């Protein structure tokens, strides 16, 4: 059993929360919720928050987003800066990675879409 990982559902996003040391704390959940709001407000309807990792060594967050629309990548830098400002972090402490996959690689059905995006990004292993 993994005590450093937790899965939460935030609206239409199924998010893996991971802390490099210890349990996913409330601050990690707050980062996930704020990132979800930023993604829903600034990216396409196909963009999904997939994973938020807290690196305890340097207090930084790695945020992974999956989408089928390549133009969503242009929103990454402004969202990084906004998240850092809102949560009182330096810009280097927030890294938002947007990975675009083709629609042929994922099924657009609810639930299946989120799972396949997580697999393509590497946040979770494929179902065997």
Q: What is the DSSP letter of 111?
A: T
- Domain presence at residue 57: yes
- Domain presence at residue 49: yes
The enclosing domain of 102 has a CATH number of 3.30.429
Percent share of the chain, pLDDT over 90 = 49
As a whole number of angstroms, the distance between CA 126 and CA 128 comes to 6
pLDDT tens for 29-43 read 999 999 999 999 999
Domain carrying residue 105: 5-121
- Domain presence at residue 111: yes
The model scores a pTM over 0.75: yes
For tokens 């305890």, the residue is 56
Query: Is 19 a residue whose pLDDT tops 80?
Result: yes
- pLDDT at residue 61, rounded to an integer: 97
- Domain presence at residue 45: yes
Query: Is 81 a residue whose pLDDT tops 80?
Result: yes
Other beta carbons within 10 angstroms of residue 56's beta carbon come to: 12
Q: How confident is the model at residue 80 (pLDDT cuts 50, 70, 90)?
A: very high
- Domain presence at residue 128: no
Domain count, the chain: 1
As a whole number of angstroms, the distance between CA 94 and CA 87 comes to 10
Query: Is 25 a residue whose pLDDT tops 90?
Result: no
Cβ(53)–Cβ(59) below 8 Å: no
- Domain presence at residue 34: yes
- Domain presence at residue 56: yes
pLDDT tens for 43-78 read 988 888 999 999 989 999 999 998 888 899 999 999
- Domain presence at residue 110: yes
The SS3 call for residue 96 is strand
- The string of DSSP letters for 41-87 reads HHS-TT-EEEEEEEETTTTEEEEEEEES-GGGGGGHHHHHHHHHHHT
- pLDDT at residue 46, rounded to an integer: 84
Query: Is 123 a residue whose pLDDT tops 70?
Result: no
Average pLDDT, whole number, for the chain?
A: 85
């Amino acid at each position: 059993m993994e005590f450093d990982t937790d899965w939460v559902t935030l609206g239409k996003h199924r998010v893996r929360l991971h802390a490099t040391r210890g349990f996913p704390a409330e601050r990690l959940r707050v980062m996930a919720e704020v990132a979800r709001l930023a993604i829903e407000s600034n990216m396409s309807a196909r963009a999904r928050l997939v994973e938020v990792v807290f690196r305890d060594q340097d207090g930084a967050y790695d945020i992974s987003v999956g989408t089928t629309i390549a133009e969503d990548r242009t929103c990454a830098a402004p969202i990084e800066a906004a998240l850092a400002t809102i949560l009182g972090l330096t810009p280097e402490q927030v890294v938002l990675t947007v990975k675009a996959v083709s629609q042929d690689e994922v099924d657009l059905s609810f639930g299946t879409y989120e799972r396949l995006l997580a697999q393509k990004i590497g946040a979770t292993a494929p179902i065997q």
